[in-house]
Amino acid sequence: MTANTGTTVMTLLQALNLALTEEMERCEDVVILGEDVGRAGGVFRTTDGLQAKFGEARVMDTPLAESGIIGAAIGMALYGLRPVAEIQFSDFIFPAMDQIVSEMAKFRYRSGGEFTCPVVVRAPSGGGIRGGHYHSQSPEAYFCHTPGLVVLAPSTPEDAKGLLKSAIRGADPVIFFEPKRIYRTVKGEVPNDPDFTVPIGKARIARAGKDVTVIAWGAMVHTCLEAAEKAARNGVDIEVVDLRSLVPLDEVTVLDSVRKTGRVVVASEATRTCGFAAEISALIAEEVIEYLQAPIVRVTGYDTPFPYALEHVYMPGPDRVLAAVHRVKTF
Amino acid sequence: MATHRNPADLVRVLPLDGLPATTAAPQLTAQQHRDMFRSMLLVRMLDEKMLLLQRQGRIAFFGPSAGQEAAIIGSGSVARAQDWIFPALREAGVALHRGFPLEQYFGQLFGNVLDPQKGRQQPMHFSSAAVHQVSLSSPIATQLPQAVGAAYAAKLRGDDVVVFGYLGDGATSEHDFHCALNFAGVWKAPVLFICQNNGWAISVPFEKQTASDGIAVKAAAYGMPGIAVDGNDVLAVRAATQMAMDRALRGEGPALLELVTWRRGGHSSSDDPSRYRDEASIPAWVLIDPIERYRDYLRANNIVSAAEEQTISAALKSAMDAALVTAEAAPGPAMDTLFTDVYATIPAHLQRQMESAGSDTSGRAEGAFPL
């Protein structure tokens, strides 16, 4: 059952915890730091049990300062450790923006490759937990706009485990967005092999289809899959592309799907203007416009702060995805 | 205005205006003295030469260190080969003292192939893995939490390493200064925070930067000792830094050193202090040359004679001139260095951009595009 072969069904949260456990067992350079990650095991319990297992020196409850957490993680990585820093909610990442954008992303480049900082920053993101604007945002675009960062956003337990392990083993700094809304609600088969990884930069066809391509990442993938099931009952066959890795982006998988269907919806929880959905749309328009049979349509959050009471209006649900699919299908 | 710190409040070894020494001279060999003195002369010599080059348009930018040589070399000379340096703007002299080659120093200023950074940064942002010195970052104080992290890592591995995090007085207003000292205090990290308080953050004088009585006092809030030192007294700086170093090596954690000095020139070659600084009101003691103070000591103790100093200076000048000729003749970085080192390996989108760069327009005659 726990052999290196086969799979175990678990939640996304359990898969993340397993990835951290395995990597800390594999390599003593891997350390965890963040607010409440130690004794409490994280406010979401992602690091549950790790301090008891690996000690306070490797699983650190830090003072409450995000810039200090990321800055210290950079210094640890420069020295040779493999720090995994937790930002409790991605909404709280902004005090560390200078460390991430000015420092972490540029160290390799600015030192001519002499100094590198392979830090993994884990950040629970996205809405749907009645958290208001400081516990719900999807800030991935800021980081995709910064050369030097790898930006990941898994949507399944298998990918959460495999991508986190790739991030920790990789040579580049990674911003790892965790879809907190589905931490416990999505379960799936996860390979038992402690050396199982998912390659960075490869998208996944979450559902094959021939009529319309719907592109999403993170928790929105599940919203789109739900929309696809509804559409299927009405004879529309949606292909859902789960990007998993925003930077680097698997352009081949995206463009191949668009060439096949000729109709595209890009779905994202983040605010609309200058969001990553805009980047995907521009890529498709530049590269394969001759295949398009309808305008590219984005389904996104609105250009407002993330609301509290009207969260269900703000966040795109399956019906908004379906409305967009209808638009591109009937154009 | 610009009262700066009262010299009577500072740790001192070398005499100043009749003020007594407050601590004994550090035990140094004649060779150690000569090495420190040579590095101070080199920093001054480079300063004068590089400002000239900047005015001639041969380098784009320079940040001078004149007047701060004692603070730079007195502290940096305590670092051992295995120790790490996270500098601010004016600590290139620390790297040079610890073996950073002049050819690479000039290569960085010219931004050419001799630069370990491959010409990617504005002048003054030197770095070298060989001497464990990362580059300064133009954003202020960001290096300090990093210094704490590196120190924590060294401690975790049980390495005999102390990390030096340098800063200026302006940096003490940044959040990262407070994050860093707070983390270091809690973690008892082997890190020294070394503040060159030169009285000015570009145009803003010290009294407009903070209402606290100096910078050393801030250490108390983070559970570490703070020591205010006459930063123009190289032996006091050396003694205080060594004391903090010994403490860190005993596992007693971080310390904050305030090296009180004076920025004689502009913030950088782009700055004009006559716009905001009344030279007549500068406290006299800060203008007493730190090199002269050390020279007097070295002469009085028969460590470096006038003739020896001449030999040292002549050797420095010929080494500087030779390295400068070599460095200025070196070619600029290769085109592909624009795209390498962003990531460990070049991702597909960047590979395409690399292939199109240059071919977008170059190699075609004017008018080749029928638009």
Q: Same domain, yes or no, for A215 and A321?
A: yes
The structural domains of chain B, with segments of one domain joined by +, span 7-333, 335-371
Residue ranges in chain A modelled with pLDDT below 50: 1
Q: Is A48 on the interface with B (CB under 8 A)?
A: no
The proportion of chain B whose per-residue pLDDT surpasses 70, expressed as a percent, equals 96
Report how far residue B166's alpha carbon sits from residue B78's, in angstroms, rounded to the nearest whole number: 13
| A121 at interface of B, judged by CB pairs closer than 8 A | no
Domain B7-333 has CATH 3.30.1330.10: no
User: Of B264, B230, B297, nearest to B8 (Cα)?
Assistant: B230
Q: What is the pLDDT of residue A238?
A: 98
In terms of domains, do A88 and A126 share one? Answer: yes
What pLDDT, on a 0 to 100 scale, did the predictor assign at position A4?
81
For residues B127-141, give the mean pLDDT: 97
At B369 the pLDDT is 65
Domain contains A227:
yes
Asked whether A198 and A163 are in contact (CB, 8 A), the reply is yes
Please check whether residues A160 and A234 belong to one and the same domain.
no
pLDDT at B225 over 80: yes
Question: Domain check: are A85 and A177 in the same one?
Answer: yes
Closest CA to B336 of B311, B353, B318, B314: B353
Residues of A in contact with B347 (CB under 8 A): 201, 247-248
Domain that holds residue A156: 7-191
Where residue A216 sits, what CATH number does that domain have? 3.40.50.920
> Given this model, what pLDDT does residue B149 score?
98
Does residue A266 share a domain with residue A147?
A: no
A164 touches chain B (CB under 8 A): no
Do residues A214 and A180 both lie within one domain? no
* B132 CB within 8 Å of a chain A CB: no
Q: Do the Cβ atoms of B117 and A58 come within 8 Å? A: no
Q: At which of A191, A220, A237 does a domain end?
A: A191
Shared domain check, A309 and A285: yes
A vs B, Cβ pairs < 8 A, gives: 145
B362 has a pLDDT exceeding 60: no
The band of B367, judged by pLDDT with boundaries at 50, 70 and 90, is low
Residues A184 and A256 in one domain: no
pLDDT higher than 70, residue B187: yes
A251/B contact by beta carbon, under 8 A: yes
CA separation for the pair B357, B137 (Å, rounded): 28
User: Counting runs of H as helices and runs of E as strands, what totals does chain B give?
Assistant: 10, 7
* Catalytic entry in A135, A145, A222, A312: A135
Together in a domain, A186 and A208: no
Helices within chain A (DSSP H only): 12-26, 50-54, 66-79, 97, 107-110, 140-144, 157-169, 220-233, 251-261, 276-288, 311-314, 318-329
Residue A306 shares a structural domain with residue A186: no
Residue A299 structure tokens: 């389904």
- Enclosing H/E stretch for B107: helix B102-110
Q: Which of A140, A168, A191 is the last residue of a domain?
A: A191
Q: Tell me the two tokens of residue A41.
A: 């095991």
The tens digit of pLDDT for each residue in B41-86 reads 999 999 999 999 999 999 999 999 999 999 999 999 999 999 999 9
Residue B211, Cβ density class (10 Å: 0-12 exposed, 13-18 middle, ≥19 buried): exposed
Proportion of chain B above pLDDT 90, given as a percent: 92
For residue B311, the distance in angstroms to the closest alpha carbon of chain A comes to 35
> Quick one: average pLDDT of B221-228?
98
Model pLDDT, residue A1: 47
Q: How many domains does chain A have?
A: 2
With an 8 Å Cβ cutoff, is B139 touching chain A?
A: yes
Its ipTM equals: 0.96
Annotation marks residue A133 as catalytic: no
Q: Is the confidence at residue B2, as pLDDT, over 60?
A: no
Q: Is A75 in contact with B146 (Cβ distance < 8 A)?
A: yes
Question: If you ran DSSP here, which 8-state letter would residue A111 be given?
Answer: T
Residue A198, domain member (yes or no): no
For residue A176, how far is the Cα from the chain centroid?
5
Nearest to B144 by CA among B103, B111, B120, B172: B172
- The answer to whether residue A196 sits within a structural domain is no
- Domain co-membership, A163 together with A18: yes
Give the CATH number for residue A87. Answer: 3.40.50.970
Chain A residue numbers touching B175 (CB-CB < 8 A): 65, 67, 95
Amino acid A299: pLDDT: 98
Per-residue pLDDT, B233? 98
Round to whole Å and give the CA distance between B26 and B301. Answer: 14
Is residue A212 domain-shared with residue A185, that is, in the same domain? no
Picking from A157, A191, A225, the residue at the C-terminal end of a domain is: A191
pLDDT greater than 80 at residue B3: no
Q: Give the pairing type, strands B84-86 and A245-247.
A: unpaired
Within 13 A of B164's CA, how many CA atoms are on the CB side? Answer: 34
Among residues A87, A127, A128, A91, which one has the least CA distance to residue A104? A87
Q: Give the dihedral of Cα atoms B36, B42, B47, B53; nearest 10 deg.
A: -160
Residue B86 with chain A: CB contacts under 8 Å: 75
Provide the pLDDT confidence category of residue B368 given band limits of 50, 70 and 90. low
At B203, is the pLDDT very low, low, confident or very high (cuts 50, 70, 90)?
Answer: very high
